[in-house]
Amino acid sequence: MGWQRAAAASRAETPAVLALSGVITLGAVLLPAAPATAGPHPYAPPPVNSCGETGFDPLYRKAPDGYTPPVNPTIAVPVPVPQILQVPMYGPKADNTRIVADPLPEDPCANPCPDIRDTPPKTTPPNTPGGGSVALPQISIKPEPEIIPVPVPGGEPPEPQPAPEAAVQVAAPGPVAAPVGAPGLESVRVVGQLTGPGSANRTDMRWSVDGTDLGLMWETKPGEVAVVFGDTFGKGWQPGGAGTDQQDWRSNVIGYSTDTDLSDGLTLDTFAQDSRCHAAEILSSRKIGNYEVTTIPTSGFALDDRQYLTYMSVKRWSKIPGMWWTNHGGIAWSDDNGSTWTKSQWAQWDNLFGLGRFQVATMVPHGDHVYMFGTPNGRIGVIGLARVPKDQVLNKTAYQYWIDGVWQPAATAHEFFATPVVSGTASELSIRYDTASGRWQMVYLDTLRHQIVLRTAAEPQGAWSEPVALLDTDDYPTAYGGFIHPWSTGNELYFAVSTWNAYNVFLMQATLR
């Protein structure tokens, strides 16, 4: 809760391997410091859902009268401890166990799996305000294992995928279109908490989704939207960031929604599940530090009956704010509406020397092509652009990179030379083509501005409008993301935002002019 961020900062740190888990979460915790422009909002009690369960408030609020932040009297000094770990070359095959989920109880407040999860109390009181004497800090040494992976033969090799035939591409003009006017922002509001304890969806009780982030969305078929989340934690998770590997950690999960009225929130109908009341991990990861910590989805789209998901394989999180290192960015596909997925062995962009330009990719079908916007690992990269024919998505040789106003074929150009489509840095891209206005919309986190911003353009290569601030991280501490709901209209933009202190997802509504 907003007024509790000082209290949250005093809680003990989570284990190093997962303390910075969740997509792009390090920068969410340590955004560049800047003076607050609006100051804290007036105190308000935490929101309560219709079942009487207390949720989270993403706004930065004043503390209630009489509240004094607790003081942690211990200063923990992390000391890395090298730990050599033999890692089989191939990991275990993905667990594609899936069940047909039972319908939810008619009573929305009923516990669907009482044998698995205890029914929470009707109200969960916030931290009790109070004071205390000032204590001299004590210093303790906190050993942190630093994994040194040593690859060795072994494991279960995946079934080889046939290599796509080399595509023949020729350069094509890609001129910048005339700039379009930036939309005006009339208002922005929190529609509701989408996930976690106290949410209207009660994802903790229904699908063991207690703490999670992201919420990237696309239309899987007419009348249905997929909602994919990043690192997810279940029973035992507590607010204050990502959880641990002892708290039912899954690198990613997928839910589905048929809710067409977003003005009162986004209802999640179900999740892909591997057991009762348990959302399944859909993209496997090795979960080994300095090798592959996690696998984070970055965008999704559908072509006919096939679903596609872009992802990044995270090698390790950094202690430098807003930075992490990836192994590669890649594409996975699903032919069962997103229940199970296969990672392409060929549609991968390796992170050579940490300079890969398409490590965090967002792909958007439009016309005869699918356009791929990408940034490097971390939060301080520029946006590159590529495109590929719709029937060649998994064929890297069929991609063309936008370089100096020309679509250059992959055979003669390298992704390193892709021309930035906007000035400045960006992270957590969410992009769509709005048929109502005939414009492209791009939402992303701008760490230097401390804002989640919106830009518009007539063509994917631009020219893109100046950024319009949708929300400020001085008002929404530790906010990141900004994933657009595909059923947004020209004037009503719905998007999902995560906050690190709550480590859950909220649906936002921006009214545009």
C-beta of residue 160 within 8 angstroms of C-beta of residue 303: no
Q: Identify the pLDDT of residue 5.
A: 33
- Residue the block writes with tokens 């993905």: 94
CA–CA separation, 19 and 15 (whole Å): 6
Q: Identify the pLDDT of residue 135.
A: 54
Q: Identify the pLDDT of residue 73.
A: 73
pTM of the model: 0.91
Query: Above 80 in pLDDT, residue 182?
Result: yes
Q: What is the mean pLDDT of residues 275-298?
A: 97
Q: Identify the pLDDT of residue 412.
A: 79
| Chain centroid offset of residue 500 CA | 11
C-beta of residue 288 within 8 angstroms of C-beta of residue 85: yes
Query: Above 50 in pLDDT, residue 12?
Result: no
Q: Identify the pLDDT of residue 346.
A: 97
Q: What confidence tier does 471 reach under pLDDT thresholds 50, 70, 90?
A: very high
Query: Above 70 in pLDDT, residue 13?
Result: no
Q: What is the number of helices (H) and of strands (E) in the chain?
A: 4, 26
User: What percentage of the chain has pLDDT greater than the value 70?
Assistant: 89
Q: What is the mean pLDDT of residues 351-369?
A: 95
Q: Identify the pLDDT of residue 3.
A: 38
Instruction: Specify the higher pLDDT residue, 35 or 87.
Output: 87
CB atoms within 10 A of CB 110: 13
> DSSP secondary structure string, 319-383?
SSTT-EEEEEEEEEEESSTTSS-EEEEEEEEE-GGG--S-SEEEEEEETTEEEEEEE-SSSSBPP
Query: Above 80 in pLDDT, residue 19?
Result: no
C-beta of residue 195 within 8 angstroms of C-beta of residue 203: yes
Q: What is the mean pLDDT of residues 453-476?
A: 96
Q: What is the mean pLDDT of residues 46-73?
A: 89
Instruction: Specify the higher pLDDT residue, 323 or 188.
Output: 188
Q: Euclidean distance between the first and final Cα of the chain, in Å?
A: 31
CA dihedral sign, ordered 422, 191, 260, 197: positive
With CA atoms as reference, report the closest residue to 481 among 155, 260, 213, 249: 213
Instruction: Specify the higher pLDDT residue, 396 or 354.
Output: 396
Q: What confidence tier does 124 reach under pLDDT thresholds 50, 70, 90?
A: low
Query: Above 90 in pLDDT, residue 75?
Result: no
Instruction: Specify the higher pLDDT residue, 189 or 28.
Output: 189
With CA atoms as reference, report the closest residue to 392 among 433, 349, 346, 440: 346
Half-sphere exposure for 122 (CA within 13 Å, toward CB): 3
Q: What confidence tier does 22 reach under pLDDT thresholds 50, 70, 90?
A: very low
Q: Identify the pLDDT of residue 372.
A: 98
Q: What confidence tier does 320 reach under pLDDT thresholds 50, 70, 90?
A: confident
Half-sphere exposure for 307 (CA within 13 Å, toward CB): 25
**Cis before 463 (ω within 30):** yes
Q: Identify the pLDDT of residue 77.
A: 85
User: What average pLDDT does the chain have?
Assistant: 89
Element (H, E) at 433: strand 427-434
Q: What is the mean pLDDT of residues 449-461?
A: 96
| Chain centroid offset of residue 365 CA | 20
- The predicted-structure confidence for 218-265, as pLDDT tens digits, reads as follows 999 999 999 999 999 999 999 999 999 999 999 999 999 999 999 999
- Residue the block writes with tokens 């809760």: 1
Residue 420 DSSP label: P
With CA atoms as reference, report the closest residue to 254 among 272, 266, 267, 269: 272
Query: Across 272-323, where does the E strand assignment appear?
Result: 273-275, 278-279, 294-303, 306-317
Give Cα separations from 234 to 184, 250, 422, 502 (angstroms).
Answer: 40, 9, 39, 14
Q: Identify the pLDDT of residue 286.
A: 97
Query: Above 80 in pLDDT, residue 455?
Result: yes
Q: Identify the pLDDT of residue 27.
A: 36
> DSSP secondary structure string, 23-39?
TTHHHHHSPPP---SS-
CA–CA separation, 364 and 408 (whole Å): 19
Residue 304 backbone class (left: φ over 0; alpha: ψ -120 to 50; beta: rest):
left
